[in-house]
Each structure stands twice: as C-alpha cells, then as structure tokens.
Amino acid sequence: MSRIAIVYWSGTGNTEAMASTVLQGALDTGKDAVLLTADQFSGAQVPDYDAIAFGCPAMGQEILEEDEFEPMFSDCESRLSGKRIGLFGSCGWGDGQWMRDWETRCLSDGAVFAAESVIAHDAPGSEELAACRALGAAL
Ligand SMILES: Cc1cc2nc3c(=O)[nH]c(=O)nc-3n(C[C@H](O)[C@H](O)[C@H](O)COP(=O)(O)O)c2cc1C
C-alpha cells in the first residue's frame, strides 16, 4: 500500500482546511495517509513516503511561510527528485505568484506532479475543496 504524507503550515486555518480535505481524498481511495504540520516533518522523512502533498499559504511578499515551512521544505528539496507530489495553499490579494514560483522550484528539484496545484482565495469554497479531495485521491 502506498504511504502518503500531507504536510502543511497554516496561520489562520484556511490551508489547514485544505490539508484535511486532501487527507480525506487520500483515505477515500484506501491509502495509508498521514497529516503532519511543517514542524513534524523534515527532509529525512521524504524517503518514507511514496507521495507527499505540501500545503502553505502565500506569505511575506508571495513567498512560503519563512519560520517553519520554508526551512522544512528546503530541507526536503534534495530528496524530491522523482517523488510524486502535490501543492496546495490559500492566498489573499495575490494572483498566485507564490504558487507559480513554488512549482518552478519543485520542477527544478525533479519532483513529479500527481495533480494540478490547488489555490484557494482565503477560505476554500466547495470547488477548491473538491480539487483538494481529487488531489488526495491522485497522490
Ligand atoms: C504576513 C502575511 C503575509 C501575506 N502575504 C500574502 C501575499 O504575499 N500574497 C497573498 O496573496 N496573500 C498574502 N497573505 C494572505 C494569506 O495568504 C491568506 O490570508 C491566507 O488565506 C492565509 O492562509 P492560512 O489561513 O492557511 O494561514 C498574507 C498574509 C499574512 C498574514
């Protein structure tokens, strides 16, 4: 059975709601999936999982959250080559630049996208939650 990790950071709960729904999508398809916050994950754990969904909102000026998520994610990057991943996160006023930059970074790490990235503006609506569920199923 494939092992899936959903690793996220969320300040006000929007990305957390997305993460819970990605988890649900993975569990729905009978996968062995776990939900972890950024401080519970590190690069050393990447090889333990067949696929990983990473979730982080747009912070700073169109960047990943700097204190917990960015250090954790950058620690993972050298082990992402060939790894099936998915990205998701919430943003406010932006047009998704943080997600485009993050995708470019993952591609240059050699990661393989299992599904399209999911962006919500503020709290995820039913369409974004359905996309999160589909992402979880595709991992
Ligand atoms: C310090 C800070 C910086 C932010 N920077 C951006 C940004 O650059 N672009 C954007 O679209 N939204 C930005 N936002 C809005 C958040 O991405 C948005 O509120 C999101 O829903 C938060 O997700 P969360 O509830 O998972 O923490 C920022 C919010 C905060 C608190």
| pLDDT for residue 47 is more than 80 | yes
In the chain, the amino acid numbered 88 is: F
pTM score > 0.95 for this model? yes
Contact 4, 32 (CB under 8 A): yes
Task: Spell out which residues line ligand 1, taking CB within 6 angstroms.
Answer: 10-16, 57-62, 90-94, 122
Instruction: Using the mean position of ligand 1's atoms as its centre, give its distance from the Cα of residue 108 in Å.
Output: 25
Q: Check residue 98 and give its pLDDT.
A: 98
Instruction: Render pLDDT for 71-130 as a digit per residue (tens, 0 to 9).
Output: 999 999 999 999 999 999 999 999 999 999 999 999 999 999 999 999 999 999 999 999
Residue of 59, 61, 102 best suited for mutating to test ligand 1, as the one with most atoms within 8 Å of CB:
59
DSSP state, 29?
T
What pLDDT is attached to residue 1?
A: 61
In this predicted model, what pLDDT tens digit does every residue of 17-37 receive, in sequence order? 999 999 999 999 999 999 999
Q: How far apart are CA 135 and CA 139, in angstroms?
A: 6
Q: Give yes or no for a contact between 111 and 79, defined as CB atoms under 8 angstroms apart.
A: no
- How far apart are the C-alpha atoms of 136 and 44, rounded to whole Å? 22
Instruction: Specify the pLDDT at position 2.
Output: 78
CA distance 124 to 117: 14
Joined together, the tokens standing for residue 99 give 């997600």
